Amino acid sequence: MKLIRNPKYQFALFLIIIFIINFLQSKYTALLEDEAYYWVWSKNLAFGYFDHPPLVALWIKISSFFFEGELGVRFFSTISFSIMLVFIWLLIDYKKKWDFVWLYFLLVISVVFLNVYGFITTPDTPLLLFVVLFLFAYKQFLKVQNWQNTLFMGFTMAGMLYSKYHGILVLMFVILSNLNLLKNKKFWLAGVFGIILFIPHLNWQYTNDFSSFRYHLMERNKGDYSFINTLLHFVNQIAIVGITFPLIYMAFLNQKVNTLFEKSLQYIVYGFILFFLTSTFSRHPQAQWTVVILISFIVITFPYFIEHKKARKWLLILGSIQFVLMLVFRVFFANENISPIQLEPHIANSWVEKLKEKTQGKPIVFVDSYRRASVYNYYTGIKTHSYSTLTERKSQYDLLGFEEMMQQENVYAVGLSNENGTLLMKIKKREIRGIPIDNYTTFQKIKCTINEELLTVSKNKTIYFTFNCYNLYNKKINLSSAKFIGVFQGNKNKIISKVPLIIEKLVPIEPFEEQLFQASFVVPKIESNDELTFRVAVEFYELSEGYQGNKIKIKIEN
């Protein structure tokens, strides 16, 4: 009994209980689609990937050293979550905290989204750990600006950026909360050290044509403003907390901020909410974008609940209810047989084996579905590839050699439009069509570059232009079976019109050789606008046009 009364043993006991719950959840819950996608990354460790920096892949790789199956994807996430809880505790400077260990863990389980990252593995999983480590390093730096704290802070800066690009926002809001940091030489040295550690990723970006930066900053689709998106952003700020949100927000707003460190936590909350509020003017918001604010909520509100008995009582009531609801949901999440609704981990069971049977176990090329390609590969071990067309976004499958592994094999192309392919099955009421392809030979990775910045055309007139075709394969390619298409695109990359291109002297191209082709097309009847662009694309088999060509502006004259 004496051990149980010891606050340090209480802390260890609660930590172990949470770890066991997360461990069991990780083991018995099927992978989310995004987790399967990141698992594909982990099979080819690199300093960067198309969508995000590399730490999520490293998390999975470390997990695979200890376990197979789902635990081989999630085990290190359960470890990093437990480490994060220890360091959040260390961030709290309050004399009475050891008398309220139970309240700390009640507060932790009272913020829903934080607990999700106790078992799933996404880029936010390492990000949360490194945000906490950075805040711990910053707190130590404010006390003692020695070399140890300086280098440790630089290391955690790099860790945040290697986790997710959102890490730069944490750093930015901390600086805004204490502008004197810009006059501090040791802080600048920490930043330089962090940049040095981040150079391998920047080099990866350079060698891969800055693919991540281009996608997030330029290629990612932007839409027109919708009030629903703005409203959803605020709903998300409630959802990430759960039913305890009135108490958590009330405590956060009423708790006095007395130190520079606490001020930085406050700036992180307001900064993230406002920053991603502005993003709703052009994008659909996602709840996980602001998940790091939950760390600030815990550190700032913990003393408030200690000092305010009534608020603490309500937290005990709502937090306990939320804990029970989360346990029930976790059971449903892991076991579809007793779940009243189909949740994401259950979906794979409804189609993977059926599709394997329909396609006779052949390798599969998924059209515009990098998530399904990843899930299918994970649960069957059969080779997959995701081919990106102009109607959807690109993915990591466009960078690695998945396509080359399928060349000259007998495969199935799956995910074709309704007018193409045979109906194979339905996934969530959506028809999945496909066709068998013998001796699969494609030209996805050739580059077709138009060197002009602007092409001026007239309706119904024949236009002549040239483009460079670069063979990125290590073999000679014959393009006689490919169809070259001119694609007109408008706002949000919407395809306005497509025209066949007539190519003069279409000769084979040697490995890594570049050929100049002369092409022509008849200008279709389309309206000119400021966002109208044109590009060369390639069709093969029944697959739609891909990202072979660069976009240039086009002007239509009457």
The structural domain count of the chain equals 3
Domain that holds residue 550: 447-557
Query: Does 179 fall in a domain?
Result: yes
Residue 457 has pLDDT above 90, yes or no: no
Query: Does 432 fall in a domain?
Result: yes
Supply 4's token pair. Answer: 């149980």
**What's the pLDDT score for residue 2?**
64
Residues 60, 38 contacting (CB under 8 angstroms): yes
Query: Does 341 fall in a domain?
Result: no
Q: Which residues of 542-558 are buried (b: 16+ CB within 10 A; e: fewer)?
A: bbbbbbbbbbbebebee
Sign of the four-CA dihedral 330, 336, 337, 341: positive
- Give the whole-angstrom CA distance, residue 380 versus residue 382: 5
Percent of the chain scored above 70 by pLDDT? Answer: 98
Sheet hosting strand 514-522, strand order edge to edge:
447-449, 462-470, 514-522, 502-504
Q: What is the dihedral of CA 488, 491, 493, 496, to 10 degrees?
A: -30
Residue 1 has pLDDT above 60, yes or no: no
Each residue of 159-173: pLDDT tens digit? 999 999 999 999 999
- Give the whole-angstrom CA distance, residue 531 versus residue 514: 29
Residues 278 and 315 in one domain: yes
DSSP H or E stretch at residue 367:
strand 364-367
Residues 371 and 488 in one domain: no
Residues 515 and 375 in one domain: no
Residues 485 and 394 in one domain: no
Quick check: helix, strand or coil at residue 161? helix
Residue 61 has pLDDT above 60, yes or no: yes
Query: Does 162 fall in a domain?
Result: yes
Residues 78, 128 contacting (CB under 8 angstroms): no
Residues 120 and 249 in one domain: yes
Query: Does 142 fall in a domain?
Result: yes
For residue 40, which of 379, 407, 391, 352 has the smallest C-alpha distance? 379
Out of 437, 463, 478, a domain closes at 437
Residues 69 and 27 in one domain: yes
Residues 102, 121 contacting (CB under 8 angstroms): no
The least confident of 14-28, 87-101, 427-441, 505-519 is 427-441
Residues 416 and 474 in one domain: no
Quick check: helix, strand or coil at residue 237? helix
Each residue of 296-321: pLDDT tens digit? 999 999 999 999 999 999 999 999 99
For residue 506, which of 523, 488, 483 has the smallest C-alpha distance? 483
Residues 315 and 431 in one domain: no
Query: Measured at the alpha carbon of residue 47, what is the angle toward residues 43 and 51, in degrees to the nearest 5?
Result: 80
Residues 36 and 102 in one domain: yes
Residues 410 and 485 in one domain: no
Quick check: helix, strand or coil at residue 447? strand
Residues 240 and 179 in one domain: yes
- Give the whole-angstrom CA distance, residue 385 versus residue 405: 9
